[in-house]
Chain A
Amino acid sequence: MTLLQIEKMTHYFGGLRAVYNYGLSIEPGQIRGLIGPNGSGKTTIFNLITGIYQPTEGQILLEGKQLNGRSPHDIASMGIGRTFQNMLLWRHMTVLEHVKMARYSKLTYGLVGAFFGTSRRHREEAESEQVAFKLLKMMRVDQYADQIVLNLPYGAQRRVEMARALAMEPRILFLDEPTAGMNPDELVQMMDIIRKVHGELGLAIFLIEHRMRVVMELCERIQTLVFGEVIAEGIPEEIQNNPKVIDAYLGKETVE
């Protein structure tokens, strides 16, 4: 079954048409890319799918289940994990706490257990910690587990954010410019990690990226978004040579 299916999604901010007639279908295990100039509506699409905004029109299905109208926490626990363009971490919490927090919806003990420290609570929290450590190892940040996230190097913070998204055991991972602001070393490491996540967890990934090299190397199919509309879709080579895409990026009539 198609993992994520979006049909004819349109969204207005007041009178401004931010996204128009957007469609997407992602199969399990695919890596898909979304590119486009600044302000073309890429992050808005992420926000629409994850329930932060409700689309004005269109429908969104995750494994056949409708996402429209659901609350963000519902959608997240149904299986969409995401990271953010400007890296939103809880600055004074430790790395391990970040990852454990994201396991909230996977734990089942109730308030009584929480207050009285039942064995179920202890067991679940201990298991959750094990899963968290496994993810931190995978992201190569386990050595920072007990540090406050603010004190980590930039690249490591990015990877903590990714570990946090993975801790929800998502069916699909949304990455919003995962390599933004990275130096070449960190960039290579991040691309490695994305490949590893994809390979080891068999996870579908939906990627927003500005760096052509990253999208071209990682993605199976790429969409190009300009003013909220998809102007081109295809495999990396097609996109690279598509005159419309070149126009949008280098500018002919459209100026960025």
Chain B
Amino acid sequence: MVFFQNLINALQWGSFYALIALGYSMVYSILMLFNFAHGDIFMVGAYIGFGVATALVALTAMGNFALPGWLVLALTILISMFLTSFVGMFVERVGYRPLRDAPRASAAITGLMIGIILETGNLILLGAQRISFPSLIETSTYQLGGVVVTNKKIMIVLVSIALSFALHQFIRRTRWGMAMRAMAFDYAVVPLMGVPLNRIAALTFAIGSGLAAVAGILFGVAYPVLDPYMGILVGWKAFVAAILGGRGSVVGATLAGFLLGFIEMFVPMVFPSTFRDLIAYSIILLILVFRPHGFFGEPYSARLRL
């Protein structure tokens, strides 16, 4: 029983990691940089979600009509994805594009700085107190042979799997996705085949940030407390999942996100829970020793040059 209960919780945490890891992995694959601000974009997404949800609730109250809770949540997710994607594109335009040919360390440092700017910016704007995410849908609890499942958990898992499937299809089957995969090999030839690099780079950031926003809102639905530093730890863990999944692999990042959730949930079943992170990340370190490119990553090879 405890096993299945943990499984449900692991799936929920895995969903957050997976959604955030996708953004890390795509940006890494296409632009050869780790967007270390990505965890904070998750945080910004959660706050934007909070703003949008509050506004929608106020709007329905003002207009004196009632929308079903799930519809408000769906609208919140869509609008916040859209808005947060602009945050991502802004970060790319201002922070990373000027550094595209600079040493990778500069880009990494820029990412860390942007993260700090987003955190402290939030602190200045909204203050240090925690904000609680409006509860949009009623929690209904189901008992399945002693295992407690809530509608929220089911929704979180389904939404994240659906989104990573959609992203996978997008990358496999559309011209934009194909351009992203080609850019993983070089920036030199891709434009000479008529593909606008900057647009694809911006799109990559937009998609990654949109997914992070979804993760932020779902996080707010599950744990309705937001604070400016909520993105740091979750972000780092999702980063680990992205590495574990393999550069640029949607399937890899998703699976690794869930695996991370599982390890984190199951370690405390056997060991004291204070050992959770120590043991979880030792296991991952061990996996990386044997598979340094992650589950689905191709061995690193130098980029094509003219």
- Also in contact, A73 and B189, with CB within 8 A (given A114-B176, A115-B170): no
B181 on interface, CB distance cutoff 8 Å: yes
In this complex, the member of A43, A50, A73 whose beta carbon has the largest number of chain B beta carbons within 10 angstroms is A73
In the bound complex, residues from chain B placing their C-beta under 8 Å from that of A168 are 193-194
Q: In the assembly, what is the distance between CA of A58 and CA of B211, in Å?
A: 47
A48 on interface, CB distance cutoff 8 Å: no
- Also in contact, A90 and B166, with CB within 8 A (given A103-B175, A168-B193): no
B174 on interface, CB distance cutoff 8 Å: yes
The chain B residue with its CB closest to the CB of A113 is B174
A80-117 CB contacts (< 8 Å) to partner B: 82, 84, 88, 90-93, 97, 100-107, 109, 111, 114-115, 117
- Also in contact, A72 and B179, with CB within 8 A (given A47-B306, A125-B174): no
Are B191 and A84 within 8 A (Cβ)? no
Q: In the assembly, what is the distance between CA of A73 and CA of B298, in Å?
A: 27
A50, A88, A90, A114: the one within 8 Å of B175 (CB):
A114
- Also in contact, A92 and B298, with CB within 8 A (given A97-B178, A103-B175): yes
B149 on interface, CB distance cutoff 8 Å: no
Quote the shortest CB–CB distance from B298 to chain A (angstroms).
6
Q: Mark A107-137, 1 if CB is under 8 A from B, else 0.
A: 1010100110100010001001000000000
Q: Mark B172-195, 1 if CB is under 8 A from A, else 0.
A: 011111110110111011011111
- Also in contact, A72 and B175, with CB within 8 A (given A90-B185, A115-B170): no
Are A104 and B191 within 8 A (Cβ)? no
Quote the shortest CB–CB distance from A166 to chain B (angstroms).
11
The contact sample of 11 A-B pairs, CB cut-off 8 A, is A73-B194, A73-B195, A73-B196, A73-B197, A76-B193, A100-B175, A101-B178, A101-B193, A105-B194, A106-B194, A114-B175
B301 on interface, CB distance cutoff 8 Å: yes
Are A52 and B306 within 8 A (Cβ)? yes
B166, B179, B193, B304: the one within 8 Å of A164 (CB):
B193
Q: In the assembly, what is the distance between CA of A82 and CA of B193, in Å?
A: 8
Quote the shortest CB–CB distance from B196 to chain A (angstroms).
5
Interface size on B, residues (CB 8 A): 29
The chain B residue with its CB closest to the CB of A79 is B194
In the bound complex, residues from chain B placing their C-beta under 8 Å from that of A128 are 175
The chain B residue with its CB closest to the CB of A98 is B182
Q: In the assembly, what is the distance between CA of A125 and CA of B172, in Å?
A: 12
Q: In the assembly, what is the distance between CA of A106 and CA of B306, in Å?
A: 24
A88, A93, A101, A114: the one within 8 Å of B195 (CB):
A101
Q: Which residues of B contact A (CB under 8 A)?
A: 166, 169-170, 173-179, 181-182, 184-186, 188-189, 191-197, 203, 298, 301, 304, 306
In this complex, the member of B169, B184, B188, B193 whose beta carbon has the largest number of chain A beta carbons within 10 angstroms is B193
Quote the shortest CB–CB distance from B265 to chain A (angstroms).
32
Q: In the assembly, what is the distance between CA of A107 and CA of B170, in Å?
A: 15
By Cβ-Cβ distance, the 7 closest A-B pairs, closest first, are A105-B194, A77-B194, A72-B191, A114-B174, A76-B194, A73-B191, A90-B185
In the bound complex, residues from chain B placing their C-beta under 8 Å from that of A240 are none
Q: In the assembly, what is the distance between CA of A165 and CA of B193, in Å?
A: 7
In the bound complex, residues from chain A placing their C-beta under 8 Å from that of B177 are 114
Q: In the assembly, what is the distance between CA of A100 and CA of B185, in Å?
A: 16
A56 on interface, CB distance cutoff 8 Å: no
The chain A residue with its CB closest to the CB of B186 is A88
Q: In the assembly, what is the distance between CA of A188 and CA of B178, in Å?
A: 33
The chain A residue with its CB closest to the CB of B177 is A114
A151 on interface, CB distance cutoff 8 Å: no
In the bound complex, residues from chain A placing their C-beta under 8 Å from that of B184 are 90
A38 on interface, CB distance cutoff 8 Å: no
In the bound complex, residues from chain A placing their C-beta under 8 Å from that of B178 are 97, 100-101, 104
- Also in contact, A90 and B306, with CB within 8 A (given A73-B196, A76-B191): no
A50, A71, A97: the one within 8 Å of B196 (CB):
A71
Are A107 and B301 within 8 A (Cβ)? no
A42-88 CB contacts (< 8 Å) to partner B: 43, 47, 50, 52, 71-73, 76-77, 82, 84, 88
Q: In the assembly, what is the distance between CA of A43 and CA of B189, in Å?
A: 14
Are B179 and A101 within 8 A (Cβ)? yes
Extra contacts, 16 of them, besides A73-B196, A90-B304 (Cβ < 8 A), are: A43-B306, A47-B306, A52-B188, A71-B196, A73-B194, A73-B195, A73-B197, A76-B194, A82-B192, A91-B185, A97-B181, A101-B178, A104-B194, A107-B175, A114-B177, A165-B193
Are B175 and A104 within 8 A (Cβ)? yes
In the bound complex, residues from chain B placing their C-beta under 8 Å from that of A84 are 189, 306
Quote the shortest CB–CB distance from A147 to chain B (angstroms).
16
In the bound complex, residues from chain B placing their C-beta under 8 Å from that of A71 are 191, 196
In the bound complex, residues from chain A placing their C-beta under 8 Å from that of B166 are 115
Quote the shortest CB–CB distance from A81 to chain B (angstroms).
8
Q: In the assembly, what is the distance between CA of A168 and CA of B189, in Å?
A: 13
Q: Mark A133-165, 1 if CB is under 8 A from B, else 0.
A: 000000000000000000000000000000011
Quote the shortest CB–CB distance from A15 to chain B (angstroms).
21
